[in-house]
Amino acid sequence: MQKNEDVAKHYEHGNLLGAIENAIAVLGKTKNNVTIHDLAPVDEFHIGGRAASEHFLAHLAFDKNMHVLDIGCGLGGGARFTAKETGARVTGIDLTKEYIETGQVLSTWVNLEKQVHLQCENAMAMSFQDAYFDGAYMMHVGMNIEDKTALFNDVFRVLKTGAKFGIYDIMQTGAGNIAYPVPWAAGRPTSHLVSMQGYIEALEAAGFQIIQTENRRDFALDFFKKMKAKTQANGGPPPLGLHTLMQASTAEKITNMVGNISAGLIAPIEIIVHKP
C-alpha cells in the first residue's frame, strides 16, 4: 500500500547503523561494551526518551513470564528497555526495514537478541494468531495510522483476556493548523492526528476498557526546555541523539513540534486499557 510505503520512507536513513557506530565511537564505546543506557538517546524515538518510557511502562506491570508486543517498535529501544527492566520477552514490529535490521544488530550488542525479536510487519494486519500476547504497547505510532479502529481491533485480537495495552501517542488537543514537518511526518498526507476522545472511542469500539489517561504536555515542554539548555551549554548536540535519526531536518522538526505543543494544538498523552 502506498501510504505504508510513504510512512516507511519517511523514517529511512540510509546508513543508520554506520551513523550509530560512529557516534558511540565518539563516546568512547564499541559494540562490545555499549549499554542500553548509552543507546537510549537514539533508540527511544519518542518525546521524553527513557524518562517517558519509565513512566509509561510502570503502568503496565509486565513481568518475566510475559510475552509482550511492541507496535511500531522503531529501533527497538523501548523493547530492549522493557526486556531488561521486566524480564519479559518482547516482539517488536515496524514498517521500516532499516529500523528493524539496525535494531536487531543493536540487540546483539547489548546481549538481548534472545529476549527481543524485531520483525518488519504491518500493524494493521498482523500475522500473529489470536490471543498470542500477554500485553502490548505503542509509543508515538498512531499519528501515522489513519484507521485507528482497525488497528485496535487487531491489537484486541492478538491479546489474551485480561492483558493490558498501553498507548503513548501525540494527540490533537486543540483546533488550528499544525506546523510541518514534524518528527513523524513531512506533511498532512501521512499525519493522522486525532483527539484523546477519538482514541477512546476507537479503543472501546474494539472491546477495550479504559483504565486511565494522562496528558503529558507539561512533561514534554520541560523535556524540550532542558534538552535545548543542555545543547546550548555543550555547544551543540551530543554525539548520539534524535539528530542521528532525523539528520539535517532535526532542528526544523523539533522546533515545529515544540511550537505545536506550546500552542495547545497537540500533546503526548498516555492511555492504559485492558482486554476484559
Of 102-106, 116-120, 122-126, 234-238, which range is least confident?
234-238
| Angle made by CA atoms 166, 110, 54, in degrees to the nearest 5 | 30
> What is the average pLDDT score of the chain?
93
| Cα distance between residue 126 and residue 32, in whole Å | 34
Encode 100-130: b = buried (16+ Cβ within 10 Å), e = exposed. bebbbbbbebbebeebbbbeebebeebeeee
DSSP H/E element including 195: none
Q: Does the structure show a pLDDT above 80 at 8?
A: no
* DSSP sequence for 43-79: H--STTHHHHHHHHHTTT---TT-EEEEET-TTSHHH
Residue 181: φ, ψ to 5°:
-80, 160
Confidence of residue 41 (pLDDT cuts 50, 70, 90): confident
User: Would you state the CATH architecture of domain 2-274?
Assistant: 3-Layer(aba) Sandwich (3.40)
Q: Does the structure show a pLDDT above 50 at 197?
A: yes
Report domain extents, the chain.
2-274
Confidence of residue 3 (pLDDT cuts 50, 70, 90): low
Q: Which pLDDT score, from 0 to 100, does residue 225 have?
A: 94
| Cα distance between residue 249 and residue 226, in whole Å | 20
Closest CA to 123 of 152, 103, 102, 97: 152
Residue 93, strand partner residues: 71, 119
